[in-house]
Chain A
Amino acid sequence: MDLYSLKRMVNMKQIKQQIKQAGMVLVVFFTVVIVTSAYAEPPGPTTGKNEAKRPNIVIILGDDLGFADLGSFGSEIKTPHLDSLAKDGVRFTNFYTNASCSPTRSVLLSGVDMHQNGLGNMDEFTAPNQWGVDGYEGVLNDRVATLPQLLKDAGYHTYMVGKWHMGKTPEQIPAARGFERDFTLLDGAGSYWDMTNLSAATPKSVFTEDGKYLTKLPDDYYATKTYTDKLISFIEAGRGDGKPFFAYVSHQAPHDPYHLPQDWRNRHVGEYDKGWDAVRQERLKRQIELGIMPAGTTLAERMWFIPDPIVLAPASRAILGKKMELYAGLVENLDFHVGRLIDYLKKTGQYDNTIFLVFGDNGAEGNDLFKMIAGTPGTRDALFAAINWSQTHPNAWGDPGSYVAYGPMWAQASMTPFSQFKGWLAEGGIHNALIVSGPAVKRPKGSINNSVMHVADLMPTLLEIAGTSYPKSYQGRELPAISGKSWGPLLAGKAESPRTEQDYLGWELFGNRAVRQGEWKLRWQYKPLGTGEWELFNLVADPAERKDLAAERPDKVKALLALWDDYVKTNNVILPSRSVFETMYDVLPVRVPDDPGYPPLLYKKQFVPPKEMVVEPKQ
């Protein structure tokens, strides 16, 4: 390491800039796609007797919630209510989503691969060669049926609160896609306090309530609180007819900006000054103790452009740590409101007949959305930010007008022990914590399962629980095949995995691509987070993806490449001609290995000579 590199290592300002420049950004714009209205087919084969026994279903989706952010998955963040669900149910340690928001949500609600359901790319980043192509509309297209549509047809009440991010026109909003009641943020991000959005082009967030667009927000609005209030009111209003309900609780938290009430901001003051390395080590230790990760698991290497926190000045650690303090508070506030929902269901006698599914929509966010939008002085968005998003003082963090995100260093802590973060196809981008509890779960309470699962599995699983099945056609149109596998036998304790050894999972987003079969994963990513070549990892032996085995196992590479080809063909994957990552190699510093303790210069300690040899100088 030369002097320039050393200087760079300790120059956090520069490092922050590099990190921000490197950030893939999820800007929240939607193109307008006219989707025809969908109406339900006749209800599924349910009887009044069955209906009385069918469980309620609640999906708690955390936006950018990390694998290691819940206490039951090794976090120091206090999440007693979510952990209580884990204690009552099962934790799954090999659950996958897609690498970003709307692609995951579209699969969750359709069961169909993202390249067919309209979110083949995020609307904000659809490449020129994908424009106009079926499956790349940027919204949840009308060729798929949705989970709420099918559950509604099967006799369920269907409720949604929170973030949608899959279309804004009347044909695309939750009310048109199967939800009877909703209180929805249609955008992908924005203020938690009001309707302020992130850019000059879309200055105002769009909300719907029960299918109507809102002119303003309710009094005393705070996203997580209001979503919970609304959901409880929906459930209470629909309780009288005895029908079960499906609730999609799509929280905005803990997506940036980290907006949270004052009471929740100072619960971890100074706790994160120790830095991300220490937090990752502590979380991994707890994960091993809890059985989330096997003994011997090693952490992914700290990314080369992130400094070792022990070389940082206390002020730097305090400021960066405060961002994590806010994030922790945001997660704890989310947990508090989940607790309110649980309490309500218990008090009304519905809890014991309710299935909860808790997970995040992708890896934790290590990119800098704000920088991407407003980071260039002289632009319209910078001017917009100066007016609406300039509360930069740390004491203002959490207030309206502040924009805090914790950066790749903490994102990697949220994704302990994995590598990288949201937007990428390393495990840190797609590997999520999953909790399932409720009457469908017959496995031992508090147990852990390590089978490979995917968000696409929710459609067949929940339809099975509801006593119905995925139809071949809907509204007279043939439906695309769902890609998931039901967890029914797994939850019932009759199987250890929903998948066979031959089943595989595939991913593509922003041009990055990957397949996993069994314990093997083949991955191609843009430089410098990737190599621009196919890399091979054994995820059982190396969940942190530290050792590329492609050169040692060409047979595996060949086999998995064949699966990749199958994935492309089956799902009409069109690699984008443009990618947000295409110039990243020219933004980040040259990638070098992370060797702990290197260079020794930075880790030397003051030499203390033996006491008996210490003398005063001779005059």
Chain B
Amino acid sequence: MKFVTFSWFIFALIPVTPAFFPSQALAQLPARFYLKSLSGGSAVPLIVESISGNTNPFDPAHNVTAGANFDATMSLAGYALAFPLFDRAALAAIIVPMGRISGEVTVAGKSVSQSAKGFGDPMLEFDINLIGPPAQKNIPDVLRYEPGFSLDLLADLALPIGEYDSSQSLNIGQNRWYGRVAMPVIWQLGPWVPGRRTTLEILPSVWLFGDNTDYGGKTLKTDPSFQLDAHLTRDFTEQLWGAIDGTYYKGGKSSVDGVSGTSSSNIGVGLTLGYQINDNLNLTFGYKSTVNDSAPDDLKMDVFMVSLVYGWHPLVEGMKRLSGEK
């Protein structure tokens, strides 16, 4: 029974994976992040990033260390599940960052080399659609899905259980609670036909940080920060799409034992290419870099990212087995 190709179903599953993209890196989620999928669908991502800059990419507060240079290799893996809640599309996910970071860090005027490795702070994510199509509870809903104008409510919460060594300033775990509240918006421009899809997506969010009371024996506080991500995406073919990405970040001034740092205001831009390898597997490649980073206190960061996302749904997999494709 192949009235529709399985790729249609799986394409709908791929967006299950938003939580797995590197929210830490440039604190920006990739385009097509909040497209909805068939309820009951699951996905597992593997995301690998190579990052350099003057801030710890594992810390979304983006505290800039002037004159520092960090290099990090970070990967993220996790699991996400799409489900209906009050007839709205909802998503629950967990993502675990892991990797290593090294760099020159200046602490109290003294330059030292530090490195860290291990598991970072797992992040829980919950997203629910408020305006837009109802939850996709069956295949006909998937077939009829078009985002149109959709608005979600999103909440992230990082659990402070990652690797942390209070004797050094460079860590993978952050030793504090943090998270964000956001409202992802997707605006469909034109037809929703594979090969011709165009979207404008914006994601305003506010990051909130708890205190790290053991930051080299001191207390690190960080003010809330505002972040605005934007993506203009377009299909090139039915399988290949691209995006122009932009990020604006403001706020997040930190203080250590009452000694305040500076508040940052940064802009980053990037490009993303996405390709659907087969019915289950999606590949994304992206590069992002800050642009207003000439001053010593400006955030400097650039990121190469490759992601592989495997999505599946029991119904679709069963249909494939019956049709002899598996």
Contacts and interface: CB of A to CB of B under 8 A. Distances in A.
Interface of A: 11-13, 16, 262, 269-270, 273, 313-320, 322, 391, 393-396, 399
A271 B87 CA distance: 20
B4 A319 contact: yes
B1 A317 contact: no
Contacts of A320: 3
B223 interface: no
A27 B191 CA distance: 31
22 contacts: A12-B1, A16-B3, A269-B144, A270-B140, A273-B140, A314-B139, A315-B3, A315-B138, A317-B140, A318-B139, A318-B140, A318-B143, A318-B144, A319-B3, A391-B193, A393-B193, A394-B4, A394-B143, A395-B191, A395-B192, A395-B194, A396-B196
Contacts of B4: 315, 319, 394
A313 B139 contact: yes
Contacts of B138: 314-315
B321 interface: no
B: contact size bracket:
10 to 19
B326 interface: no
The 10 closest A-B pairs by CB, nearest first: A318-B140, A315-B139, A396-B193, A319-B3, A395-B193, A395-B192, A393-B193, A314-B140, A314-B138, A13-B2
B293 interface: no
Given A315-B140, A319-B143, A395-B192, 18 more contacts: A13-B3, A16-B3, A262-B191, A270-B144, A313-B139, A314-B138, A315-B3, A315-B4, A315-B143, A318-B140, A319-B4, A322-B143, A391-B193, A393-B8, A394-B4, A394-B143, A396-B191, A399-B191
A314 B144 CA distance: 12
Contacts of A399: 191, 193
A314 B193 CA distance: 21
A557 B192 CA distance: 57
A317 B143 CA distance: 11
B149 to A, nearest CB: 15
A320 B139 CA distance: 13
A13 B6 CA distance: 14
Contacts of B195: 393
B146 interface: yes
A318 B140 CA distance: 6
Nearest to B192: A395
Contacts of B3: 12-13, 16, 315-316, 319-320
B13 to A, nearest CB: 15
Contacts of B191: 262, 395-396, 399
A393 B139 contact: no
A9 to B, nearest CB: 12
A399 B191 CA distance: 10
B322 to A, nearest CB: 10
Contacts of B1: 11-13, 313, 315-316
A406 to B, nearest CB: 13
A273 B4 CA distance: 16
A229 to B, nearest CB: 25
B40 to A, nearest CB: 14
Contacts of B140: 270, 273, 314-315, 317-318
Contacts of B143: 315, 318-319, 322, 394
Contacts of B196: 396
A399 B138 CA distance: 26
Contacts of B194: 393, 395
Interface in B190-210: 191-196
Interface string B209-253: 000000000000000000000000000000000000000000000
A127 B193 CA distance: 43
A394 B192 CA distance: 10
A12 B319 CA distance: 13
Contacts of A393: 8, 193-195
B3 to A, nearest CB: 4
B226 to A, nearest CB: 36
A420 to B, nearest CB: 24
Residue among A11, A16, A269, A395 facing the most chain B CB atoms (10 A cut-off): A395
B125 to A, nearest CB: 29
Interface string B126-149: 000000000000111001101000
Contacts of A322: 143
A391 B238 CA distance: 11
A544 to B, nearest CB: 29
Interface in B1-20: 1-4, 8
A269 B144 CA distance: 9
A323 to B, nearest CB: 10
A469 B194 CA distance: 59
A601 to B, nearest CB: 18
A269 B140 CA distance: 10
A396 B197 CA distance: 11
Nearest to B195: A393
A55 B115 CA distance: 94
A316 B194 CA distance: 20
B196 to A, nearest CB: 8
Nearest to A402: B193
Nearest to A316: B3
Residue among A273, A315, A318, A394 facing the most chain B CB atoms (10 A cut-off): A315
A315 B195 CA distance: 22
Nearest to B145: A395
A302 to B, nearest CB: 19
Contacts of A394: 4, 143
Residue among B146, B193, B194 facing the most chain A CB atoms (10 A cut-off): B193
Nearest to A397: B193
Nearest to A262: B191
A399 to B, nearest CB: 7
